[in-house]
Amino acid sequence: MSESWPPDEVALTPGKRVLFLTKDLELIRRQLYEGLDLNMADLSVDDLLDDINTDVITPAWVCFDHDPQNIAENAYAGLMHEGRRVFEPRALMDGGFEVIVSGQRKGTGSSREPAAQCERWSDVRIVIAASFAPIHERNNINLGQVMGDHAMLERLQSGEQIPLSEFTSEYDPVTRLILESGGLFPFSGRLKSGELELPVAASDELPMTMAEKMITAKLVSSNGHAGHVRPGDAVIAQVDGGYSHEFTSAQVHEFLKLEYGEDYSIPNPSKFAVFEDHLLYATGVPRFGKFADKIETLRRMQKEFQQHTGLRDYSAVGGVSPGICHQVAREEFIDVGDFIQATDSHTCMGGASNALTYGVGSTEFANLIHNGFTFVHVPESIRFELTGELNTGCTAKDIMLHILWRYARDEQTLDRSIEFGGPGLASLSMDERATLCNMATECSAKTGICEPDERTVEWLLARRTGMTAEDIRARFVLPDEGAHYDGGVHTIDLDSIRPMVAHPGDPDRGIPSDPTNGAYIDELGDVHIDIAYAGSCTAGKDDDFAYYARVVEAALAAGRTIPEGVECYIQFGSKTVKELSSERGWTKMFEAAGVKLIDPGCGACIGAGPGVSSTQDEVTISAINRNYQGRSGPGRLYLASPLTVMASAFMGRIVAWHPDMFSIET
């Protein structure tokens, strides 16, 4: 790999190859193993794979390695054809490729940076796609990867040299500087040395959205004139805190040692935390058992990282985690107006507390905790004005499946900050608002933010010491009257929302129930289930457990328990949720009904715990946030609300909840 990357003129290297990720998977195999070379001039964009998600590029088990070189050995391990891997170990590394080509929305799904690393450390330095998922694109930028379109590739394959400026011209001034520097770490070094000067944000005081206000409040300037931000501005901003977990901390630690030396230090360790939550149950899953040593290495390295830096420690005690990082962070340290970044795509869950929160890759996190600042490309905003109140049988999960179905499928939410407000928001609890913000990620949005109100004050007062209601209200961030929303302002009448179920494969494949059709979900038919999984960061909160308890209590009253042939699991989102369940008697009630309870942490949602399917024929109804093929086992996974999942568990088939269902259904 050239140390002087990127060059001023980009050209294909003689002897190096271009890999086309075609919809015809046999063509990929022929390129990998038979030396077949293709040319963009002979293909169309429609011939190329769309929506390649990060679970395909680097499945969870690949991320058990923290060394990017080892990760690169298993690049695209999740791309399967006729039951076998298309990319055998080292296939990308040994293929001599410097360009990789795909279709629309490259890198959807989880924020995992290894998906970009596996290409970077396989000597791929030019990535071509029709469009990129926002976080994946950012990870490429941070690693210094040059991205372009298919027309550029045609020019390169014809022998043309293309100025680097053509690849970077579509980006903002700061992103151009990062790419021209070769990535985020070299850029930060140049910035701290005074070699670079940051552009000044727009200074006109115009009405702002919540995201714009929050970023403006955190601006860093090299000349003392920060200004006010607008969508598209590229700025550097201070962060109030963040966190990593055992899937990512090892890389953060290694990157910091490589960049700043073995004795590096963190300026404000009390602002940041490490969580042991993602891999607690991984070794109990047969397909992950062989990675036990690697998983233990990740745990050990996170402990080393925490001890080295003094970050807040949320390690498991006696094998039990304090909880899922997003849930515990909002419970314990995300406050109104905060700017929080963490190494997980569902960091945006913290937006329920009227904070700006979103996920970043390991490189970006390592940079921000060491240098105290982060790059921000000010997002456009889209607003959902909620009116009315939800009907019985519906939860905030149904609202998000509705938004995914109606707005995200045509990319209206793509890379935008989703604002939630209106009188209908006041009818939703803080936990339900957390569900809205959590699933902004499934909309490929930048983040989700809820307007604050007295419910925000009450919820935080119950969880913060030394803070008054006046302190919280003084931090409220509300949109200005007249703020501009590039994605528009959309009214959602909560009274019109019906229970939703998303077909396997993607969260945006939702269908609503038909209120005239009893408990059945319209167009879904009679779908029998093998597994019902309730929990995860999206559905493991206090209110979610209240929903589960409502259904279980009604079922037991009707003499029902979980039927034979159905496995039902509920996983606690945090230690405090587990304690609440015990205090209210829910835990004993769940056990009496035949529900299997799982201690706090991540599990089936990432394929690393009880509730994972074991065969392609198994059907799961789940309250998690995403249902990409293979993420929670090889079976078919439908997404639904906590109420729908628990009702379906007792009926043995997918049904929507209504209070009288057990006395009506047979």
* Weakest mean pLDDT among 32-36, 113-117, 503-507: 503-507
**pLDDT of 201:** 66
Which pLDDT value is given to residue 627? 79
Distance between CA atoms of 172 and 170, rounded to whole angstroms? 7
User: Among the listed ranges 218-227, 539-548, 657-666, which one has the minimum average pLDDT value?
Assistant: 218-227
pLDDT of residue 193: 85
C-beta of residue 420 within 8 angstroms of C-beta of residue 386: yes
pLDDT value for 504:
86
Cβ partners under 8 Å of residue 32, min gap 6: 19, 86, 87, 88, 91, 92, 95
pLDDT at 225 over 60: no
Assign domain 501-666 to a CATH class. alpha beta
Q: Are 548 and 646 in contact (CB under 8 A)?
A: yes
Residues with Cβ within 8 Å of 299's Cβ and at least 6 positions away in sequence, in order, are 246, 276, 279
Tokens of 231: 């969508």
238-377 shares the fold of 9-170: no
Find the mean pLDDT for residues 268-282: 90
- Tokens found for residue 635: 């079976």
User: What is the number of H-type helices and E-type strands within the chain?
Assistant: 25, 27
Q: What is the mean pLDDT of residues 538-562?
A: 96
Cα dist from 44 to 11, 47, 102, whole Å = 22, 5, 11
Distance CA 591, CA 231 (A): 51
pLDDT in tens, 110-167: 778 899 999 999 999 999 999 998 889 989 999 999 999 999 999 999 999 999 999 9
Here the tokens at position 629 are 């093929």
Measure the CA–CA gap between 337 and 447, rounded to whole angstroms: 14
- Closest alpha carbon to 402 in 443, 445, 438: 443
- Which of these CATH numbers, 3.30.499.10, 3.30.930.10, 3.40.50.720, 3.40.30.10, describes 238-377? 3.30.499.10
Q: What gap in Å lies between CA 217 and CA 539, rounded to an integer?
A: 32
Lowest mean pLDDT among 223-227, 262-266, 362-366: 223-227
The pLDDT tens digits for 594-619 are 999 999 988 777 777 788 888 999 99
Looking at residue 196, what is its pLDDT?
Answer: 84
Q: Which of 172-186, 423-437, 525-539 has the highest mean pLDDT?
A: 423-437
Q: Average pLDDT, stretch 440-451?
A: 94
Reduced 3-state DSSP string for 501-569? EECCCCCCCEEECCCCCCCCCCCCCCCECCEEEECHHHHCCHHHHHHHHHHHHHHHHCCCCCCCCCEEE
Q: Which residues contact 314 (CB under 8 A, 6 or more apart)?
A: 243, 273, 274, 275, 276, 277, 321, 322, 323, 325, 328
pTM assigned to the model = 0.83
73, 117, 339 from 466: Cα distances, Å: 51, 43, 21
Question: How much is the average pLDDT of 193-220?
Answer: 85
pLDDT for the residue numbered 609: 78
Average pLDDT in the chain: 91
- Spans of all domains in the chain: 9-170, 238-377, 501-666
pLDDT at 15: 95
Banded pLDDT at 625 (limits 50, 70, 90)? confident
What values do phi and psi take at 20, rounded to 5? -100, 120
Task: Kindly indicate the confidence band of residue 37, based on its pLDDT and cuts at 50, 70 and 90.
Answer: very high
Task: Cite the beta strand spans of 119-227 per DSSP E.
Answer: 126-128, 146-148, 162-163, 219-220
Q: Any residues with CB less than 8 A from the CB of 263 and at least 6 apart, and which?
A: none
- Can you give 164-180 as a three-state secondary structure string? HHHHHCCCCHHHHHHHH
Query: Comparing C-alpha atoms, which of 632, 528, 610, 545 is closest to residue 581?
Result: 545
Overall fold of domain 9-170: Aconitase; domain 4 (3.20.19)
pLDDT at residue 664 is higher than 80 = no
Pairing of strands 146-148, 126-128: parallel
Rounded percentage of the chain residues whose pLDDT exceeds 90: 72
Summarize pLDDT for 290-338 with one digit per residue, the tens.
888 998 999 999 999 999 999 999 999 988 899 999 999 999 999 999 9
**Token digits of residue 290:** 């062989």
Confidence of residue 523 (pLDDT cuts 50, 70, 90): low
Quick one: which of 654, 570, 656 has its CA closest to 394?
656
Task: Output the pLDDT for position 3.
Answer: 53
